[in-house]
Amino acid sequence: MNSLPVIAVVIPCYNEEAALPITAKQLLTTLQGMVENDLISSDSYILCCNDGSVDRTWKVIESLHQSDHRIKGVSLAHNRGHQYALLAGLMTVRGHCDAAISIDADLQDDVNAMIDMVKRFREGYEIVYGVRASRASDSWFKRTTARAFYTLQKKMGLDTVYDHADYRLMSNRALDILSEYGESNLFLRGIIPQIGLSTSIVTYDRHERVAGESKYPLKKMLSFSIDGITSFSSRPIRMILALGLMLLVLDVAMGIYVSIAYFGHDAIPGWTSLMLSVWFLGSITLIGLGVVGEYIGKIFVEVKHRPRYYISEYLID
C-alpha cells in the first residue's frame, strides 16, 4: 500500500464495565505499537458498540472517550444481541477507515494477532480470519461441543471457517459488500465467507477472560447454531423429506407383511408394536413441524423489514 492504512477496531459490548478499561488499555498499546512501526496510520481508532447494557458499560465508554479520543463509542437503543451490535459497529466505521478489525471485549482473542492481520491486509488480502491454533486449554466437554457445533454446520451446508468466531479483519470494500446483505436473521460467520474477495487466516492462542462472565453459555451456543443453520441452509427440510420417503417405503413393506399375515390367518394383535409405531411417527411429525415452523418464523421476521437496530447515542468526534 502507498500510504499507511487507517484501522478501526470494533468491540461489541454487553455488560462489560469490568473488562473495558483493561481491554481499551491493551488495544491502545497494540495500536500505538503498530503506529510506531509504520504499519498503520496514527488516525486509527477503537469503536465500542454498547448493546443496550444494563450496567455502567456506556458510562465507562464515555469516560474512556474523554481520556483518549481514539476511543469512540455508539450505543444501541436497546439490547439486540452480539451479532447486531457487531454489525452496527462495522457499519458505523464503514467509509471512515481502510479496514476494520472486530474483537470481543473479553480479550480471549489475542490482540497481537491484529499485527499479523494488518500485515496480511497490506499484502492485499481483504478479509483475514482469526482462527484458534488449538483447543488444548479447553475442557473435554467444551472441545467436544465446539467440534459438534462446526461439524453440524458443515453437514448442514454452511460455509464457515472452523474454529473462527468473530475475530477478523475486513477491508472497507468488504464492509461495503456486507452492507448489501439486508437479512434480519444475522449470522455473520455464515454471511462473510459468501462475500468472497481475497482471504487469509491468522492463527492465535486463546486466553481466559480478562474480567466478567461469558455471554455464550451452552444454551445460547445451541440457539446460535440453530439460527445459523436455518438462516443459510434448507438441508434440514430436505432431510425431513428424505426421512418421509424412507418411512413410506417402510409403510409399504409393513402393509405387504400385514396383508400376508391377515390372509394367512397368522395375525396376532400387537399392542406394543402399534404403540411404538404411533409414538415414532408422532415424534417424526412433530420434529418436521418444528423445523418447518422455524423457517416460517424466520420468513415472518424477514418480510416485515423492520430496522435491525437503532443507535441512540454517538461518541465519534
Query: In this structure, what CATH number is given to the domain that contains residue 21?
Result: 3.90.550.10
**Are 181 and 276 in the same domain?**
no
**Statement to judge: residues 287 and 162 lie in one domain:** no
Q: Is residue 156 part of a domain?
A: yes
Query: Is 117 a member of any domain?
Result: yes
Half-sphere exposure of 219 (CA within 13 A, CB side): 1
Distance (Å, whole) CA 229 – CA 196? 20
Q: In whole angstroms, give the CA distance from residue 163 to residue 62.
A: 33
Please check whether residues 203 and 272 belong to one and the same domain: no
93 is a domain residue? yes
Residue 97 maps to a domain? yes
- The answer to whether the beta carbons of residues 41 and 52 sit under 8 Å apart is no
**Are 174 and 246 members of one domain?**
no
Host domain of residue 140: 7-217+306-315
- Does residue 163 sit in the same domain as residue 120? yes
List, for residues 143-157, the tens digit of each pLDDT value.
Answer: 676 666 666 666 666
Note whether residue 226 is domain-resident. no
Tell me how many domains the chain contains.
Answer: 2
1 lies in some domain:
no
Tens digit of pLDDT for each residue in 88-118?
Answer: 999 999 999 999 999 998 888 889 999 999 9
Q: Give the CA-trace dihedral at 7, 93, 123, 205, to 10 degrees.
A: 70
**230 lies in a domain?**
no
Taking only the tens place, the pLDDT of each residue in 210-244 is 555 555 555 656 665 666 565 655 566 667 666 66
Residues 200 and 76 reside in one and the same domain? yes
pTM, to two decimals: 0.69
Residues 139 and 276 in one domain: no
HSE at residue 68, side-chain half, CA atoms within 13 A, is 18
Domain shared by 181 and 213, yes or no: yes
